[in-house]
A and B are shown apart, each in its own frame.
Chain A
Amino acid sequence: MKITGTKKMITSGILAISVIGLIGMNGCAESKKISDKSGAQLWSENCQRCHNTPAPKTFNDEHWKTIGMHMQTRAQLTNNERDKIVDFLQSFNHL
Protein backbone atom coordinates (compact mmCIF):
# COMPACT_ATOMS: atom_id res chain seq x y z
CA MET A 1 0.00 0.00 0.00
CA LYS A 2 1.43 3.34 -1.03
CA ILE A 3 1.59 5.83 1.79
CA THR A 4 0.97 9.39 0.66
CA GLY A 5 2.63 12.47 2.17
CA THR A 6 -0.49 13.32 4.15
CA LYS A 7 -0.78 9.81 5.57
CA LYS A 8 2.91 9.89 6.50
CA MET A 9 2.38 13.14 8.33
CA ILE A 10 -0.71 11.85 10.13
CA THR A 11 1.07 8.61 11.08
CA SER A 12 4.08 10.54 12.36
CA GLY A 13 1.79 12.87 14.25
CA ILE A 14 -0.10 10.02 15.89
CA LEU A 15 3.17 8.33 16.86
CA ALA A 16 4.52 11.57 18.33
CA ILE A 17 1.28 12.15 20.22
CA SER A 18 1.35 8.59 21.57
CA VAL A 19 4.92 8.92 22.81
CA ILE A 20 4.21 12.28 24.41
CA GLY A 21 0.98 10.93 25.88
CA LEU A 22 2.75 7.94 27.41
CA ILE A 23 5.40 10.22 28.88
CA GLY A 24 2.71 12.48 30.23
CA MET A 25 0.66 9.69 31.77
CA ASN A 26 3.70 8.14 33.40
CA GLY A 27 4.81 11.48 34.73
CA CYS A 28 8.19 13.06 34.10
CA ALA A 29 10.74 13.64 36.77
CA GLU A 30 10.42 16.95 38.58
CA SER A 31 13.42 18.08 40.59
CA LYS A 32 13.07 18.90 44.29
CA LYS A 33 13.95 22.51 43.47
CA ILE A 34 10.85 22.71 41.31
CA SER A 35 8.52 20.64 43.48
CA ASP A 36 9.40 22.78 46.51
CA LYS A 37 8.25 25.98 44.82
CA SER A 38 5.35 27.72 46.49
CA GLY A 39 2.14 28.75 44.75
CA ALA A 40 3.16 32.38 45.13
CA GLN A 41 6.43 31.76 43.33
CA LEU A 42 4.78 29.81 40.52
CA TRP A 43 2.10 32.52 40.19
CA SER A 44 4.84 35.14 39.89
CA GLU A 45 6.89 33.17 37.36
CA ASN A 46 4.24 31.71 35.09
CA CYS A 47 1.43 34.24 34.75
CA GLN A 48 3.78 37.02 33.64
CA ARG A 49 4.99 34.92 30.71
CA CYS A 50 1.90 36.23 28.88
CA HIS A 51 0.17 38.87 31.01
CA ASN A 52 0.37 40.71 34.31
CA THR A 53 0.03 38.58 37.41
CA PRO A 54 -3.65 38.51 38.41
CA ALA A 55 -4.82 40.12 41.63
CA PRO A 56 -5.78 37.34 44.06
CA LYS A 57 -9.25 38.53 45.01
CA THR A 58 -10.48 38.89 41.43
CA PHE A 59 -12.57 35.69 41.50
CA ASN A 60 -14.17 33.36 44.02
CA ASP A 61 -12.77 29.88 44.69
CA GLU A 62 -14.82 28.05 42.08
CA HIS A 63 -14.06 30.59 39.37
CA TRP A 64 -10.33 30.43 40.15
CA LYS A 65 -10.49 26.69 39.60
CA THR A 66 -12.17 27.24 36.23
CA ILE A 67 -9.71 29.97 35.26
CA GLY A 68 -6.84 27.67 36.26
CA MET A 69 -8.04 25.01 33.84
CA HIS A 70 -8.53 27.59 31.08
CA MET A 71 -5.02 28.94 31.62
CA GLN A 72 -3.59 25.43 31.59
CA THR A 73 -4.95 24.94 28.07
CA ARG A 74 -3.31 28.18 26.91
CA ALA A 75 0.07 28.18 28.64
CA GLN A 76 0.47 24.39 28.99
CA LEU A 77 1.09 24.62 32.72
CA THR A 78 1.88 21.37 34.49
CA ASN A 79 -0.80 20.05 36.85
CA ASN A 80 1.40 20.82 39.83
CA GLU A 81 1.83 24.42 38.72
CA ARG A 82 -1.89 24.87 38.07
CA ASP A 83 -2.97 23.40 41.40
CA LYS A 84 -0.46 25.39 43.46
CA ILE A 85 -1.27 28.66 41.71
CA VAL A 86 -5.03 28.14 42.14
CA ASP A 87 -4.56 27.22 45.83
CA PHE A 88 -2.50 30.36 46.34
CA LEU A 89 -5.08 32.60 44.69
CA GLN A 90 -7.99 30.96 46.52
CA SER A 91 -6.25 31.38 49.87
CA PHE A 92 -6.81 35.16 49.73
CA ASN A 93 -10.58 34.57 49.74
CA HIS A 94 -10.28 33.04 53.22
CA LEU A 95 -8.12 35.60 54.98
Chain B
Amino acid sequence: MNLQKAARLAFIAGLFLLNNGTIIAQDMSQPGNPIKDQSINQAVTSMLPSETDFMMVGLTTFGFINQSVTTTGAAANKTNSLADADRFEFSPMFLWRHGDNLLVEFEPSWDGNSIGVNWADVHYFIAPGLIARAGYFVLPFGIYNKRLAAGWIDKLPSDPTGMDVAGSDFGIGLSGGLPLGTMKMSYDVSLTNGFQLNNDGTITNGFVVAQNNGKTVCGRLGFLPLSNSSLEIGVSGLYGALATPAGATFINTNPTSTTGPSVSMYAVDLDFVHNYNPVQVNVKAQYSATMISSMTYADSAAQFTFNNTITDFFGQVSVRPSNSKNKYIKNLELAYRFVDYTTPQGSSYGQNYTESDIALDYWISWRTVLKLGYEMRASKGTAVDNTEGYINGVTTNTNNLIIQFSTEF
Protein backbone atom coordinates (compact mmCIF):
# COMPACT_ATOMS: atom_id res chain seq x y z
CA MET B 1 0.00 0.00 0.00
CA ASN B 2 2.74 2.39 0.98
CA LEU B 3 4.66 1.54 -2.20
CA GLN B 4 1.66 2.37 -4.33
CA LYS B 5 1.25 5.67 -2.52
CA ALA B 6 4.92 6.49 -3.01
CA ALA B 7 4.74 5.62 -6.70
CA ARG B 8 1.72 7.90 -7.15
CA LEU B 9 3.51 10.76 -5.41
CA ALA B 10 6.61 10.25 -7.55
CA PHE B 11 4.51 10.26 -10.72
CA ILE B 12 2.75 13.51 -9.71
CA ALA B 13 6.09 15.10 -8.76
CA GLY B 14 7.58 14.06 -12.09
CA LEU B 15 4.68 15.60 -13.99
CA PHE B 16 5.06 18.80 -11.96
CA LEU B 17 8.79 19.06 -12.64
CA LEU B 18 8.32 18.31 -16.31
CA ASN B 19 5.56 20.87 -16.60
CA ASN B 20 7.53 23.44 -14.61
CA GLY B 21 10.56 22.93 -16.86
CA THR B 22 8.40 23.53 -19.89
CA ILE B 23 7.06 26.73 -18.34
CA ILE B 24 10.59 27.92 -17.60
CA ALA B 25 11.70 27.01 -21.10
CA GLN B 26 8.78 28.89 -22.55
CA ASP B 27 9.43 31.90 -20.32
CA MET B 28 13.16 31.88 -21.11
CA SER B 29 12.31 32.41 -24.74
CA GLN B 30 10.66 35.72 -23.94
CA PRO B 31 13.12 38.69 -24.03
CA GLY B 32 13.33 40.77 -20.86
CA ASN B 33 11.71 38.06 -18.78
CA PRO B 34 12.88 38.32 -15.13
CA ILE B 35 13.29 34.54 -14.81
CA LYS B 36 15.60 34.51 -17.82
CA ASP B 37 17.61 37.48 -16.49
CA GLN B 38 17.98 35.82 -13.10
CA SER B 39 19.16 32.60 -14.69
CA ILE B 40 21.74 34.37 -16.83
CA ASN B 41 22.90 36.47 -13.91
CA GLN B 42 23.44 33.34 -11.84
CA ALA B 43 25.40 31.70 -14.65
CA VAL B 44 27.60 34.77 -15.14
CA THR B 45 28.13 35.28 -11.42
CA SER B 46 29.31 31.70 -11.01
CA MET B 47 32.03 32.37 -13.59
CA LEU B 48 33.32 35.57 -12.00
CA PRO B 49 36.21 35.39 -9.52
CA SER B 50 34.97 35.38 -5.95
CA GLU B 51 36.56 37.16 -3.03
CA THR B 52 37.10 33.86 -1.28
CA ASP B 53 39.12 30.92 -2.47
CA PHE B 54 39.58 27.68 -0.58
CA MET B 55 41.89 24.94 -1.76
CA MET B 56 43.61 21.85 -0.49
CA VAL B 57 47.10 20.93 -1.57
CA GLY B 58 49.71 19.02 0.43
CA LEU B 59 52.28 16.30 0.15
CA THR B 60 52.93 12.68 0.82
CA THR B 61 56.21 10.82 1.14
CA PHE B 62 56.77 7.10 1.59
CA GLY B 63 59.27 4.45 0.66
CA PHE B 64 61.42 1.45 1.47
CA ILE B 65 64.40 1.60 3.83
CA ASN B 66 67.06 -1.02 4.40
CA GLN B 67 69.14 -0.12 7.45
CA SER B 68 72.35 -1.50 8.92
CA VAL B 69 73.51 -0.27 12.34
CA THR B 70 76.97 -1.20 13.64
CA THR B 71 78.13 -0.18 17.08
CA THR B 72 81.70 -0.62 18.34
CA GLY B 73 82.14 -4.12 19.71
CA ALA B 74 78.73 -5.37 18.64
CA ALA B 75 77.32 -7.25 15.67
CA ALA B 76 75.55 -5.37 12.93
CA ASN B 77 71.80 -5.02 13.27
CA LYS B 78 70.04 -5.11 9.91
CA THR B 79 66.42 -4.17 9.36
CA ASN B 80 64.17 -3.27 6.49
CA SER B 81 60.82 -1.57 6.39
CA LEU B 82 58.39 -0.22 3.83
CA ALA B 83 58.24 3.05 5.77
CA ASP B 84 59.66 4.58 8.91
CA ALA B 85 58.72 7.48 11.13
CA ASP B 86 61.49 9.76 9.83
CA ARG B 87 60.57 9.36 6.20
CA PHE B 88 56.82 8.81 6.03
CA GLU B 89 54.54 11.79 5.83
CA PHE B 90 51.00 12.54 4.76
CA SER B 91 50.30 16.25 5.08
CA PRO B 92 47.29 17.88 3.44
CA MET B 93 47.55 21.67 3.46
CA PHE B 94 44.47 23.87 3.52
CA LEU B 95 44.72 27.37 2.10
CA TRP B 96 41.90 29.88 2.48
CA ARG B 97 42.20 33.25 0.79
CA HIS B 98 39.86 36.12 1.41
CA GLY B 99 40.28 38.90 -1.14
CA ASP B 100 43.77 40.18 -1.84
CA ASN B 101 44.98 40.64 1.71
CA LEU B 102 44.13 37.67 3.89
CA LEU B 103 45.53 34.15 3.74
CA VAL B 104 44.97 31.34 6.25
CA GLU B 105 47.18 28.24 6.19
CA PHE B 106 46.72 24.98 8.06
CA GLU B 107 48.83 21.88 7.57
CA PRO B 108 48.21 18.83 9.75
CA SER B 109 50.70 16.01 9.31
CA TRP B 110 50.62 12.28 10.02
CA ASP B 111 53.98 10.51 10.39
CA GLY B 112 52.51 7.04 10.78
CA ASN B 113 52.39 7.23 14.57
CA SER B 114 50.75 10.51 15.44
CA ILE B 115 49.12 13.54 13.89
CA GLY B 116 50.83 16.86 14.44
CA VAL B 117 50.51 20.30 12.92
CA ASN B 118 53.24 21.87 10.80
CA TRP B 119 51.64 25.32 10.76
CA ALA B 120 48.34 26.99 11.50
CA ASP B 121 48.56 30.71 10.86
CA VAL B 122 46.98 33.73 9.26
CA HIS B 123 48.78 36.23 7.03
CA TYR B 124 47.66 39.77 6.35
CA PHE B 125 49.22 41.49 3.34
CA ILE B 126 49.45 45.04 4.66
CA ALA B 127 51.42 46.71 1.87
CA PRO B 128 53.98 45.80 -0.79
CA GLY B 129 56.88 44.26 1.10
CA LEU B 130 55.02 44.03 4.39
CA ILE B 131 53.14 40.88 5.45
CA ALA B 132 52.00 40.32 9.03
CA ARG B 133 51.32 36.87 10.42
CA ALA B 134 50.01 35.33 13.62
CA GLY B 135 49.49 31.82 14.87
CA TYR B 136 51.67 28.73 14.91
CA PHE B 137 54.45 28.85 12.33
CA VAL B 138 57.98 27.76 11.45
CA LEU B 139 60.50 30.17 12.97
CA PRO B 140 62.40 32.26 10.40
CA PHE B 141 65.78 30.72 11.16
CA GLY B 142 67.91 29.57 8.21
CA ILE B 143 66.44 28.29 4.96
CA TYR B 144 65.98 24.57 5.38
CA ASN B 145 62.93 24.31 7.64
CA LYS B 146 60.81 26.93 5.99
CA ARG B 147 61.63 26.30 2.34
CA LEU B 148 63.32 22.97 1.68
CA ALA B 149 61.99 20.38 4.11
CA ALA B 150 59.09 19.03 2.02
CA GLY B 151 59.79 15.60 0.54
CA TRP B 152 58.90 16.70 -3.00
CA ILE B 153 61.36 19.62 -2.71
CA ASP B 154 64.19 17.90 -0.85
CA LYS B 155 66.70 16.34 -3.25
CA LEU B 156 67.61 13.64 -0.72
CA PRO B 157 65.39 11.17 1.14
CA SER B 158 66.06 12.44 4.69
CA ASP B 159 66.25 15.79 6.43
CA PRO B 160 69.77 16.84 7.50
CA THR B 161 70.12 15.95 11.17
CA GLY B 162 69.76 18.80 13.66
CA MET B 163 68.28 21.38 11.28
CA ASP B 164 65.07 21.65 13.28
CA VAL B 165 66.77 23.35 16.23
CA ALA B 166 64.60 26.50 16.12
CA GLY B 167 61.40 24.59 15.35
CA SER B 168 57.91 26.10 15.29
CA ASP B 169 56.14 28.23 17.84
CA PHE B 170 53.14 30.42 18.61
CA GLY B 171 53.51 34.13 18.00
CA ILE B 172 53.43 37.00 15.56
CA GLY B 173 55.72 38.11 12.77
CA LEU B 174 56.44 40.33 9.79
CA SER B 175 58.06 39.46 6.48
CA GLY B 176 58.55 40.79 2.99
CA GLY B 177 60.68 41.06 -0.09
CA LEU B 178 62.07 44.41 -1.19
CA PRO B 179 63.71 45.44 -4.47
CA LEU B 180 67.08 47.20 -4.21
CA GLY B 181 67.97 48.40 -7.69
CA THR B 182 69.08 45.31 -9.58
CA MET B 183 69.37 43.43 -6.29
CA LYS B 184 66.81 42.29 -3.78
CA MET B 185 66.55 41.76 -0.05
CA SER B 186 64.11 39.99 2.20
CA TYR B 187 63.33 40.03 5.88
CA ASP B 188 61.39 37.70 8.13
CA VAL B 189 61.07 38.38 11.87
CA SER B 190 58.99 36.89 14.66
CA LEU B 191 58.13 37.27 18.32
CA THR B 192 57.08 33.97 19.91
CA ASN B 193 56.32 32.34 23.26
CA GLY B 194 59.77 30.79 23.36
CA PHE B 195 61.63 27.86 24.80
CA GLN B 196 61.70 25.89 28.00
CA LEU B 197 64.98 24.50 29.37
CA ASN B 198 64.77 20.79 30.08
CA ASN B 199 66.61 18.99 32.86
CA ASP B 200 69.14 17.46 30.47
CA GLY B 201 70.04 20.85 28.94
CA THR B 202 67.96 20.52 25.78
CA ILE B 203 65.31 23.08 24.92
CA THR B 204 61.70 22.69 23.77
CA ASN B 205 59.26 25.20 22.27
CA GLY B 206 55.79 25.20 20.74
CA PHE B 207 53.84 25.98 23.93
CA VAL B 208 50.47 27.59 23.23
CA VAL B 209 50.60 29.10 26.73
CA ALA B 210 53.90 30.86 27.41
CA GLN B 211 55.99 29.17 30.08
CA ASN B 212 57.51 32.49 31.20
CA ASN B 213 57.09 36.21 30.53
CA GLY B 214 60.18 36.51 28.34
CA LYS B 215 59.51 36.22 24.62
CA THR B 216 61.79 34.93 21.89
CA VAL B 217 62.87 37.22 19.06
CA CYS B 218 63.94 35.56 15.83
CA GLY B 219 64.70 36.88 12.39
CA ARG B 220 66.38 36.31 9.08
CA LEU B 221 67.69 38.79 6.55
CA GLY B 222 68.21 37.57 3.00
CA PHE B 223 70.26 39.31 0.34
CA LEU B 224 70.09 38.47 -3.37
CA PRO B 225 72.96 40.37 -4.99
CA LEU B 226 72.50 39.11 -8.56
CA SER B 227 69.78 40.47 -10.83
CA ASN B 228 68.65 36.97 -11.83
CA SER B 229 68.04 35.96 -8.18
CA SER B 230 70.31 32.95 -8.58
CA LEU B 231 72.23 33.63 -5.37
CA GLU B 232 70.79 34.25 -1.92
CA ILE B 233 72.80 34.73 1.25
CA GLY B 234 70.99 34.82 4.56
CA VAL B 235 71.83 35.57 8.18
CA SER B 236 69.56 34.60 11.07
CA GLY B 237 69.52 35.31 14.78
CA LEU B 238 67.43 34.23 17.74
CA TYR B 239 67.40 35.27 21.37
CA GLY B 240 65.08 34.34 24.20
CA ALA B 241 64.83 33.89 27.93
CA LEU B 242 64.35 30.23 28.84
CA ALA B 243 61.49 29.10 31.02
CA THR B 244 62.37 26.74 33.84
CA PRO B 245 59.79 24.07 34.58
CA ALA B 246 58.50 23.38 38.07
CA GLY B 247 60.74 20.81 39.73
CA ALA B 248 63.73 21.60 37.52
CA THR B 249 66.87 19.89 38.74
CA PHE B 250 69.44 22.17 37.12
CA ILE B 251 71.24 24.96 38.96
CA ASN B 252 72.42 28.27 37.54
CA THR B 253 76.23 28.14 37.76
CA ASN B 254 76.68 31.83 37.03
CA PRO B 255 76.43 33.53 40.45
CA THR B 256 76.32 37.04 38.93
CA SER B 257 73.44 36.21 36.62
CA THR B 258 70.15 37.87 37.54
CA THR B 259 68.23 37.22 34.38
CA GLY B 260 68.01 33.44 34.38
CA PRO B 261 68.97 31.08 31.59
CA SER B 262 68.70 32.14 27.98
CA VAL B 263 69.31 30.84 24.49
CA SER B 264 71.04 32.55 21.57
CA MET B 265 71.24 31.18 18.06
CA TYR B 266 72.69 32.40 14.82
CA ALA B 267 72.86 30.94 11.34
CA VAL B 268 74.21 31.74 7.92
CA ASP B 269 72.79 30.16 4.79
CA LEU B 270 73.45 30.08 1.08
CA ASP B 271 71.27 29.21 -1.89
CA PHE B 272 72.61 29.14 -5.44
CA VAL B 273 70.74 27.82 -8.49
CA HIS B 274 72.00 28.40 -11.98
CA ASN B 275 71.58 26.85 -15.41
CA TYR B 276 74.85 26.05 -17.14
CA ASN B 277 73.20 24.75 -20.27
CA PRO B 278 72.26 21.92 -20.40
CA VAL B 279 72.88 21.32 -16.67
CA GLN B 280 71.24 23.00 -13.73
CA VAL B 281 73.49 23.32 -10.68
CA ASN B 282 71.84 23.67 -7.29
CA VAL B 283 73.79 24.43 -4.10
CA LYS B 284 72.32 24.79 -0.63
CA ALA B 285 74.15 25.25 2.67
CA GLN B 286 73.42 26.30 6.23
CA TYR B 287 75.51 26.63 9.39
CA SER B 288 73.96 27.28 12.77
CA ALA B 289 75.13 27.55 16.35
CA THR B 290 72.98 27.33 19.46
CA MET B 291 74.29 28.65 22.77
CA ILE B 292 72.42 27.92 25.99
CA SER B 293 73.40 29.33 29.38
CA SER B 294 75.85 27.21 31.31
CA MET B 295 74.10 25.41 34.13
CA THR B 296 74.77 22.52 36.45
CA TYR B 297 72.51 19.77 35.20
CA ALA B 298 71.50 16.61 36.95
CA ASP B 299 70.04 13.24 36.18
CA SER B 300 69.24 10.34 38.46
CA ALA B 301 72.93 9.47 38.79
CA ALA B 302 74.88 12.69 39.27
CA GLN B 303 75.28 16.40 38.71
CA PHE B 304 77.40 17.57 35.80
CA THR B 305 78.30 20.73 33.94
CA PHE B 306 79.12 21.26 30.29
CA ASN B 307 79.42 23.96 27.68
CA ASN B 308 75.89 23.85 26.28
CA THR B 309 76.61 24.72 22.65
CA ILE B 310 75.31 22.91 19.57
CA THR B 311 76.67 23.43 16.07
CA ASP B 312 75.18 22.14 12.85
CA PHE B 313 76.17 22.34 9.21
CA PHE B 314 74.81 20.96 6.00
CA GLY B 315 76.01 21.53 2.48
CA GLN B 316 74.52 19.95 -0.59
CA VAL B 317 74.97 20.10 -4.31
CA SER B 318 72.82 18.62 -7.04
CA VAL B 319 73.10 18.58 -10.81
CA ARG B 320 70.34 17.95 -13.32
CA PRO B 321 70.66 17.92 -17.10
CA SER B 322 67.33 19.70 -17.30
CA ASN B 323 67.90 20.97 -20.84
CA SER B 324 69.00 17.64 -22.26
CA LYS B 325 67.20 16.64 -25.43
CA ASN B 326 66.67 13.13 -24.08
CA LYS B 327 63.28 13.02 -22.35
CA TYR B 328 64.49 10.56 -19.70
CA ILE B 329 67.93 12.00 -18.95
CA LYS B 330 66.48 15.49 -18.46
CA ASN B 331 64.44 14.15 -15.54
CA LEU B 332 67.42 12.70 -13.66
CA GLU B 333 69.11 14.57 -10.82
CA LEU B 334 72.17 13.55 -8.82
CA ALA B 335 72.47 15.00 -5.30
CA TYR B 336 75.07 14.84 -2.53
CA ARG B 337 74.87 16.20 1.00
CA PHE B 338 77.30 16.42 3.91
CA VAL B 339 76.18 17.04 7.48
CA ASP B 340 78.26 17.82 10.58
CA TYR B 341 76.33 17.99 13.85
CA THR B 342 77.92 18.38 17.27
CA THR B 343 76.07 18.32 20.57
CA PRO B 344 77.69 19.26 23.92
CA GLN B 345 80.52 17.06 25.11
CA GLY B 346 79.87 15.96 28.67
CA SER B 347 76.09 16.26 28.40
CA SER B 348 73.82 13.21 28.41
CA TYR B 349 73.29 13.62 24.64
CA GLY B 350 76.82 14.53 23.50
CA GLN B 351 77.92 13.24 20.12
CA ASN B 352 80.05 14.17 17.14
CA TYR B 353 77.96 13.22 14.15
CA THR B 354 78.70 13.26 10.45
CA GLU B 355 76.61 12.18 7.52
CA SER B 356 77.23 11.69 3.81
CA ASP B 357 74.19 11.14 1.64
CA ILE B 358 73.91 10.56 -2.07
CA ALA B 359 70.78 10.20 -4.16
CA LEU B 360 69.75 9.70 -7.75
CA ASP B 361 66.34 11.24 -8.37
CA TYR B 362 63.93 10.77 -11.23
CA TRP B 363 61.40 13.57 -11.63
CA ILE B 364 58.13 12.06 -12.83
CA SER B 365 56.66 15.55 -12.98
CA TRP B 366 57.67 18.93 -11.61
CA ARG B 367 56.25 17.95 -8.20
CA THR B 368 56.61 14.17 -8.13
CA VAL B 369 59.92 12.43 -7.56
CA LEU B 370 61.31 8.94 -7.12
CA LYS B 371 64.58 8.87 -5.14
CA LEU B 372 67.19 6.17 -4.77
CA GLY B 373 69.41 7.16 -1.87
CA TYR B 374 72.29 5.85 0.19
CA GLU B 375 73.19 7.39 3.54
CA MET B 376 76.36 6.83 5.58
CA ARG B 377 76.11 8.16 9.11
CA ALA B 378 78.70 8.04 11.88
CA SER B 379 78.10 9.07 15.48
CA LYS B 380 80.81 9.12 18.13
CA GLY B 381 79.45 9.43 21.65
CA THR B 382 80.81 12.15 23.95
CA ALA B 383 78.15 11.86 26.63
CA VAL B 384 78.72 11.91 30.34
CA ASP B 385 76.72 8.72 30.76
CA ASN B 386 74.71 6.30 28.64
CA THR B 387 71.20 7.42 29.59
CA GLU B 388 70.46 8.50 26.01
CA GLY B 389 72.66 6.01 24.16
CA TYR B 390 75.60 8.27 23.26
CA ILE B 391 78.25 6.37 25.21
CA ASN B 392 81.55 8.19 25.45
CA GLY B 393 84.02 6.89 22.85
CA VAL B 394 81.58 4.48 21.26
CA THR B 395 81.05 4.86 17.52
CA THR B 396 77.81 3.94 15.79
CA ASN B 397 77.73 3.62 12.01
CA THR B 398 74.37 3.62 10.28
CA ASN B 399 73.97 2.88 6.60
CA ASN B 400 70.60 3.37 4.92
CA LEU B 401 69.50 2.31 1.46
CA ILE B 402 66.31 4.14 0.61
CA ILE B 403 63.84 4.07 -2.24
CA GLN B 404 61.42 6.92 -1.75
CA PHE B 405 58.43 8.37 -3.58
CA SER B 406 57.22 11.87 -2.85
CA THR B 407 54.59 14.05 -4.43
CA GLU B 408 52.83 17.32 -3.90
CA PHE B 409 49.13 17.13 -4.57
Contact = CB atoms under 8 A, between A and B. Distances in A.
Interface of A: 4-6, 9-10, 12-13, 16-17, 20-21, 23-25, 27-31, 33-34, 45-46, 48-55, 58-59, 61-63, 65-67, 69-70, 72-81
Taking residues whose C-beta sits less than 8 angstroms from the other chain, chain B's interface range is 35 or more
Given A52-B363, A78-B178, 17 more contacts: A6-B214, A6-B259, A13-B189, A20-B187, A24-B127, A28-B129, A34-B182, A49-B229, A52-B366, A52-B367, A55-B366, A62-B53, A63-B55, A72-B131, A76-B187, A76-B222, A78-B179
A73 B133 contact: yes
Contact of A24 (B147, B176, B262, B367): B176
B366 A25 contact: no
A50 B184 CA distance: 16
Contacts of A79: 128-129
Nearest to A48: B273
Tell which of A13, A30, A69, A76 has the most Cβ of chain B within 10 Å. Answer: A76
B55 A25 contact: no
A76 B363 contact: no
B236 interface: no
Tell which of A49, A70, A74, A80 has the most Cβ of chain B within 10 Å. Answer: A49
Contacts of A55: 365-366
Interface in B83-137: 95, 97, 103, 105, 123, 125-131, 133
A69 B178 contact: no
A51 B50 CA distance: 29
A34 B179 contact: yes
B335 interface: no
A31 B179 CA distance: 8
B241 interface: yes
A17 B189 contact: yes
A12 to B, nearest CB: 8
A37 to B, nearest CB: 9
Contacts of B271: 49
Contact of A78 (B53, B128, B181, B366): B128
A69 B217 contact: no
Contact of A73 (B53, B123, B184, B217): B123
Given A34-B227, A61-B49, A24 B129 contact: yes
Nearest to B333: A52
Contacts of B174: 17, 20-21
Nearest to A52: B366
Contact of A25 (B50, B129, B187, B215): B129
B257 to A, nearest CB: 10
Give the top 3 A-B pairs by smallest Cβ distance, nearest first: A24-B129, A76-B186, A30-B179
A4 B259 contact: yes
Given A25-B129, A34-B182, A76-B175, A16 B239 contact: no
A33 B179 CA distance: 12
Interface string B237-276: 0011100000000000000000100100000000101000
A78 B125 contact: no
Contacts of B147: 50, 74-75
A59 B97 CA distance: 15
Tell which of A13, A54, A59 has the most Cβ of chain B within 10 Å. Answer: A13
Given A29-B181, A62-B53, A65-B97, A9 B239 contact: yes
Contacts of A21: 130, 174
B152 A51 contact: yes
Nearest to A78: B177
21 contacts: A6-B259, A16-B219, A20-B176, A21-B174, A23-B129, A25-B127, A27-B129, A34-B179, A45-B228, A46-B229, A49-B230, A49-B271, A50-B153, A51-B152, A66-B103, A67-B55, A73-B123, A73-B133, A78-B184, A80-B128, A81-B177
Contacts of A45: 228-230
Interface in B43-95: 49-50, 53, 55, 57, 95
Nearest to B238: A9
A62 B48 CA distance: 10
A51 B189 CA distance: 23
A79 B259 CA distance: 42
A90 B8 CA distance: 52
Given A6-B239, A48-B273, A53-B366, A77 B177 contact: yes
B130 A24 contact: yes
A45 B273 CA distance: 9
B184 A74 contact: no
A32 to B, nearest CB: 9
